[in-house]
């Protein structure tokens, strides 16, 4: 029997664009719901009129991750009337590198044989044995792709190089499980930036908060609203007018971060934030430190804050903190405010 990580894949699907410029969902195995299929078609670059070809995109909808690889068909090939195709893999886990590598092998199989049967065989081989081997199309081994590598593939150092001390706003928003919306017109830049943000709260190792590629459609926004806090990426600039969707808005092309009016009280900054901000910036600006080491430095500071919070909770009834407990400690107002909202986010607050 294959290891549990092979059981994370849910389906594969195929979208084709033919010589008449018609784009259709042509095949899937074992099945994809009509609602998810509509979302996947909207994410596929072949269904849009734009000139650009996005070779690989990924995202999340209703707790299902999707990975879309798009290929331009070069003559001669077994695919006679197809100009481009997109392979869609859906799965329960976040691991872009794993599914990009697997998709490359499957795409080569499809170009060579012109039939989805070989792809289905490759998919079943990975599902049952964790390996898909072929001499001419390359091989794929699932155990080469550890989830921690996927978590560390985004660059926190790049985030800090763009936003400097303002990174503390993103850190605070993530710690308090707030709603962060990021805009960039280029999908590649959006994916690269948003995937790095959950690493700022490494103690949670929670990439389920990431929705890196969202359209302003009813079904997708409805799905987003079911989440407590999130990091959501949009290519559509109209999202800046949708203050109902965010507590923090990041305009990536202009390197600007805006805190919404409703979140200003919870996000008020003080000396504690400045101290954390300095730790983040000094670590990230050290050329000798890797992204992994920067994440560790931030994590140590986070654990320090959480340990203080836990020790306060220990002295309280049912190990739950009250505002009164915090007031007795005579913290500076911004620190008290942050710890109060953090206790709520960490479920240490007495309601």
Residue position matching structure tokens 């150092």: 157
Taking the chain, what is the end-to-end CA distance rounded to the nearest angstrom? 47
Element housing 69 (H / E): strand 64-72
Better-scored residue on pLDDT, 59 or 50: 59
pLDDT of residue 244 exceeding 80, the answer is: yes
What does the domain layout of the chain look like in residue ranges?
Answer: 9-149, 156-259, 271-346
Arithmetic mean of pLDDT, 138-147: 88
The pLDDT of residue 2: 46
pLDDT digits (tens, 9 = 90+) for 96-138: 999 999 999 999 999 988 899 999 999 999 999 988 887 667 7
Is the distance from CB of 114 to CB of 77 less than 8 angstroms?
yes
Is the distance from CB of 260 to CB of 243 less than 8 angstroms?
yes
The pLDDT of residue 298: 98
**Mean of the per-residue pLDDT values for the chain?**
93
Q: Is residue 316 very low, low, confident or very high in pLDDT (cuts 50, 70, 90)?
A: confident
Q: Is residue 48 very low, low, confident or very high in pLDDT (cuts 50, 70, 90)?
A: confident
pLDDT digits (tens, 9 = 90+) for 195-207: 999 999 999 999 9
**Integer Cα distance of 79 and 340 in angstroms:** 61
* Helix/strand/coil for 120: helix
Q: How much is the pTM?
A: 0.95
The pLDDT of residue 132: 87
For domain 156-259, which architecture applies?
3-Layer(aba) Sandwich (3.40)
Strand-pair partners of 349: 321
pLDDT of residue 1 exceeding 70, the answer is: no
List all residues 6 or more positions away from 208 whose beta carbon is below 8 Å from its beta carbon.
60, 63, 94
Give all strands of the β-sheet with 179-183 in edge-to-edge order: 210-211, 230-234, 179-183, 248-251, 256-259
* Helix/strand/coil for 252: coil
The pLDDT of residue 3: 47
Count of alpha carbons within 13 angstroms of residue 29, beta-carbon side:
11
For domain 9-149, which architecture applies?
2-Layer Sandwich (3.30)
**Integer Cα distance of 104 and 99 in angstroms:** 8
The pLDDT of residue 5: 65
């Amino acid at each position: 029997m294959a290891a549990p990580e092979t059981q994370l894949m849910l389906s594969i699907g195929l979208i084709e664009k033919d010589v008449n410029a018609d784009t259709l969902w042509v095949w899937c195995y074992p099945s994809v719901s009509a609602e998810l299929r509509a979302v996947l078609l909207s994410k596929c670059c072949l269904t849009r009129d734009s000139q650009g070809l996005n070779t690989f995109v990924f995202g999340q909808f209703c707790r299902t991750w999707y990975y879309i690889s798009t290929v331009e068909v070069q003559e001669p090939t077994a695919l006679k009337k197809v100009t481009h195709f997109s392979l869609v893999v859906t799965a329960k886990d976040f691991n872009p590198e794993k599914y990009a590598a697997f998709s490359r092998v499957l795409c080569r199989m499809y170009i060579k044989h012109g039939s989805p049967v070989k792809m289905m065989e490759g998919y079943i081989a990975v599902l049952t044995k964790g390996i898909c081997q072929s001499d001419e199309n390359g091989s794929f081994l699932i155990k080469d792709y550890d989830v921690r590598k996927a978590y560390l593939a985004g660059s926190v150092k790049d985030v800090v190089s763009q936003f400097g001390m303002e990174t503390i706003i993103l850190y605070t928003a993530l710690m308090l499980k707030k709603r962060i919306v990021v805009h960039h017109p280029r999908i590649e830049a959006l994916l690269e930036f948003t995937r790095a943000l959950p690493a700022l709260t490494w103690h949670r190792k929670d990439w389920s908060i990431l929705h890196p590629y969202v359209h302003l459609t009813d079904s997708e926004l409805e799905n987003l609203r079911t989440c407590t806090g999130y990091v959501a990426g949009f290519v559509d600039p109209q999202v800046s007018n949708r203050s109902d969707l965010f507590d923090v808005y990041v305009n990536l092309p202009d390197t600007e971060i805006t805190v919404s009016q409703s979140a200003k009280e919870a996000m008020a900054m003080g000396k504690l934030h400045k101290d954390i901000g300095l730790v983040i910036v000094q670590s990230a600006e050290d050329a000798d430190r890797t992204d992994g080491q920067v994440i560790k430095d931030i994590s140590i500071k986070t654990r320090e804050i959480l340990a203080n919070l836990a020790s306060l909770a220990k002295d309280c009834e049912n190990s739950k903190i009250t505002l009164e407990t915090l007031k007795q400690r005579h913290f500076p107002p911004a620190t008290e405010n942050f710890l109060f909202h953090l206790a709520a986010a960490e479920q240490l607050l007495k309601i």
